[in-house]
């Protein structure tokens, strides 16, 4: 370690102590702590990963000049064997976010990291590199979460996810919410967004992420393992689709400016590579990518929002998702796409080269069809889901089956319910053969999906579980013979000390597509 580093943060922290609150010594108040937004790591590859932090505005002030931030990566939790280090600048232009792409490390082992700036030290983060390409991997644990509305509850699910000591954390959308509750519902909330209004500009989205990153449970999770993140709609606006806002009367250029601000704030606040920076990509964020974990898992992370065509069969006044008659012809229009032409091509090409035991696809919504009641009582199709882009889903499943990609498993979010389904070769036909399994975690805090969806379970025989009463996450233990998925429910989203228990388990066995349920 070079330079006069004043150690004021926590020093050696083991995994068990990671839930401890950030204690600053030397008279630095939390408001002045430059690392009040925590640390994170992501995008594990065999010789490195991204480490991230974002200095708090209150500590840095509104300086236009760059603040130097030192970073260190070590092989041990005591930071005794430092194997990489350097210094980067935190700039106002990027809201004082710091992304470091660390390379040259050894595969499939843990590393620890921390930052120092302005005389203070960050908490210690733990992360790990991915196994080498094709390397024999015995097993791994992936935890996945989605839909964390700050106002709806405490992030206890995140704390319990960290306690599972995962190899990888997946965020499958709605990491923040752009809207705030008002009126009667607002009075029952456990905590409030800083801004009462719906955020729609760069300052607003940045402040929203800063608030979420101030949460100790989210910080604990990020400091415990590397993550991969995709987004859903609420990182920008409810039910937007590609370049189409929810509201029909909003001018396109105004919505694209809003989207660009939201995308920029997302990049600034996630441990993503520089190549995802929208400033280098004409306002877009390259989020979809393929990750390999030795011979065990190929994980394709998809972006089902940015490149979508407009939702089909929307109501005359708004694109807000609704249940439309299943007979609406636009649902099967082959010109419509959830992923966009380029991402579709990339995905199908990857299926052909999938060599790992498990072909996993992480994305934001339910892939299986789900017939549900329309307001008039008839059964229909939700216009914001995969069934509304049925031709794209058909192309995706045909490519998966045609490529003989081994043991496909889909992971998703959005439903605010635990859902488990068999994916059928011909999805609308429950009698067709099962080709994949699907797991959807419930929300971290967000309100449950309507009970009417749960009551539609008998109309959806390929769906094995639909349960909206619990908030929580899912945890997957993966080895070469099977995946065991636990649906983990927290006791009460209104309790900051909520406990966790396993609500249900499913197994998928290699070589046998679909779910095996446990009593
Ligand atoms: Fe959500």
Q: Could you tell me the distance, in angstroms and rounded to a whole number, from the CA of residue 135 to the centre of ligand 1?
A: 36
Give residues with Cβ within 8 angstroms of 438, minimum separation 6: 366, 367, 368, 409, 410, 411, 412, 419, 420, 421, 422, 423
Q: Would you state the pLDDT for residue 437?
A: 98
Can you tell me the distance from the alpha carbon of 337 to that of 94, in angstroms, rounded to the nearest whole number?
32
Q: Residue 175 Cα, ligand 1 centroid: separation in angstroms?
A: 8
Measured in Å, residue 422 CA sits from the centre of ligand 1 at 22
Distance 391 CA to ligand 1 centre (A): 24
Cα-to-centroid distance, 284 and ligand 1 (Å) = 22
State residue 13's pLDDT score: 35
Q: Distance, CA 366 to ligand 1 centroid (Å)?
A: 12
Residue 378 Cα to ligand 1 middle (Å): 25
For residue 125, give the nearest of 211, 53, 229 by alpha carbon.
53
pLDDT value of position 63: 65
Q: How many CB atoms lie within 10 A of CB 15?
A: 15
Q: What pLDDT is stored for residue 4 in this prediction?
A: 34
Ligand 1 mean position to 146 CA, how many Å? 7
Max Cα–Cα distance, the chain, nearest Å: 70
> Distance from the CA of 305 to the center of ligand 1, in angstroms?
13
pLDDT of residue 62: 67
The Cα 515–Cα 517 span in angstroms is 6
Cα of 449 vs centre of ligand 1, distance in Å, is 9
Distance 438 CA to ligand 1 centre (A): 18
> Residue 101 C-alpha to ligand 1 middle, in angstroms?
30
Interval between CA 112 and ligand 1 midpoint (Å): 32
Q: How close is the Cα of 180 to the center of ligand 1, in Å?
A: 13
What does the DSSP 8-state code read for residue 260?
Answer: H
Cα–ligand 1 centroid distance for 446 (angstroms): 6
- Strands 168-172 and 227-230, how do they pair? parallel
How many angstroms separate the alpha carbon of residue 283 from the centre of ligand 1?
Answer: 24
Q: Are strands 82-90 and 67-74 parallel, antiparallel or unpaired?
A: antiparallel
Q: How far is the CA of 288 from the centre of ligand 1 (A)?
A: 19
Cα of 416 vs centre of ligand 1, distance in Å, is: 6
Q: How far apart are CA 256 and CA 233, in angstroms?
A: 14
Which pLDDT score, from 0 to 100, does residue 29 have? 53
* Distance from residue 174's CA to the centre of ligand 1 (Å): 5
CA of 176 to the centre of ligand 1 (A): 9
* Per-position b or e across 421-458, b if 16+ CB within 10 A of its CB: bbbbbebbebeeebbbbbbbbbbbbbbbbeeebeebee
Å from CA of 388 to ligand 1 middle: 18
Contacts of 271 by beta carbon, 8 Å cutoff, 6+ apart: 40, 41, 42, 43, 49, 50, 51, 52, 99, 222, 226, 227
- Tokens representing residue 367 in the block: 């892939």
- Rounded Cα distance between 111 and 100, Å, is 14
Global pTM value: 0.93
Residue 348 CA to ligand 1 centre (angstroms): 27
The rounded Å distance from CA 14 to ligand 1 centre is: 33
CA 490 to chain centre: 19
How far, in Å, is the centroid of ligand 1 from the Cα of 193? 16
Please state the φ and ψ torsions of residue 373, each to the nearest 5 degrees.
-80, 135
What are 340's two structure tokens? 């966009």
Q: Is the CB of residue 311 less than 8 Å from the CB of residue 239?
A: yes
What residue ranges of the chain have pLDDT lower than 70?
1-31, 62-64, 519
**Exposure b/e, 153-190, CB count within 10 A at least 16 = b:** bbbbbbbbbbbbebbbbbbbbbbbbbebbeeeeeeebe
What spacing in Å lies between the alpha carbon of 117 and ligand 1's midpoint?
Answer: 35
pLDDT tens-place string over residues 485-512: 999 999 999 999 999 999 999 999 999 9
Nearest in space to 480 (alpha carbons), one of 358, 354, 362: 358
Q: Write out the two tokens for 368.
A: 């299986």
State the distance from the centre of ligand 1 to the C-alpha of 114, rounded, in angstroms.
Answer: 32
Q: Cα of 357 to ligand 1 centre, how many Å?
A: 31
Q: According to the model, what pLDDT value does residue 6 have?
A: 35
């Amino acid at each position: 370690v070079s330079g006069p580093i004043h150690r004021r943060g926590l020093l050696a922290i083991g995994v068990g102590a990671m839930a401890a609150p950030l204690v600053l010594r030397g008279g630095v108040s939390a408001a002045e702590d430059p690392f009040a937004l925590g640390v994170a790591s992501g995008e594990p590859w065999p010789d490195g990963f991204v480490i991230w932090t974002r200095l708090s505005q209150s500590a840095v002030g509104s300086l236009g000049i760059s603040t130097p931030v030192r970073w260190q990566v070590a092989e041990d939790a005591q930071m005794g064997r430092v194997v990489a280090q350097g210094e980067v600048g935190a700039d106002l232009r990027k809201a004082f976010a710091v992304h470091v792409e660390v390379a040259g490390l050894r595969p499939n082992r843990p590393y620890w990291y921390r930052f120092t700036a302005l005389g203070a030290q960050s908490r210690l983060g733990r992360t790990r590199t991915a196994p080498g390409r094709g390397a024999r991997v015995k097993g791994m644990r992936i935890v996945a979460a989605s839909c964390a509305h700050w106002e709806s509850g405490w992030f206890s699910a995140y704390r319990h996810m960290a306690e599972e000591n995962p190899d990888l954390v997946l965020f499958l959308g709605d990491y923040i919410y752009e809207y705030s509750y008002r009126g009667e519902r607002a009075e029952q909330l456990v905590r409030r967004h800083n801004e009462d209004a719906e955020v729609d500009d760069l300052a607003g989205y940045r402040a929203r992420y800063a608030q979420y990153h101030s949460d100790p449970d989210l910080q604990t999770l990020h400091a415990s393992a590397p993550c991969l993140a995709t987004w859903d709609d609420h990182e920008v606006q409810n039910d937007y689709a590609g370049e189409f806002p929810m509201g029909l009367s909003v001018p396109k250029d105004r919505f694209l400016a809003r989207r660009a601000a939201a995308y920029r704030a997302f990049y600034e606040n996630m441990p993503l590579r520089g190549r995802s920076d929208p400033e280098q990509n004409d306002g877009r964020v390259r989020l979809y990518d393929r990750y390999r974990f030795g011979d065990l898992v190929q994980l394709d992370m998809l972006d089902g929002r940015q490149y979508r065509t407009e939702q089909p069969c929307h109501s005359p006044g708004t694109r807000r998702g609704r249940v439309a008659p299943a007979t609406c012809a636009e649902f099967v229009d082959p010109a419509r796409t959830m992923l966009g032409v380029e991402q579709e091509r990339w995905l199908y090409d990857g299926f052909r080269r999938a060599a790992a035991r498990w072909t996993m696809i992480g994305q934001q919504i339910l892939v299986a069809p789900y017939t549900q009641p329309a307001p008039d009582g008839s059964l229909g199709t939700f216009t914001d889901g995969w069934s509304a882009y049925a031709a794209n889903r058909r192309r995706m499943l045909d490519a998966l089956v045609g490529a003989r990609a081994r043991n496909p498993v889909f992971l998703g979010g959005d439903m605010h319910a635990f859902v488990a389904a068999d994916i059928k070769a011909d999805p609308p036909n429950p009698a067709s053969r099962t080709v994949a399994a699907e797991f959807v975690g419930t929300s971290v805090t967000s309100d449950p999906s309507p009970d009417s969806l749960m009551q539609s379970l008998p109309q959806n025989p390929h769906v094995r579980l639909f349960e909206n009463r619990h908030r929580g996450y899912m945890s997957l233990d993966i080895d070469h013979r099977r995946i065991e998925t636990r649906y983990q429910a927290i006791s009460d989203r209104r309790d900051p000390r909520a406990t966790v228990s396993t609500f249900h388990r499913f197994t998928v066995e290699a070589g046998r597509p679909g779910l095996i349920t446990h009593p």
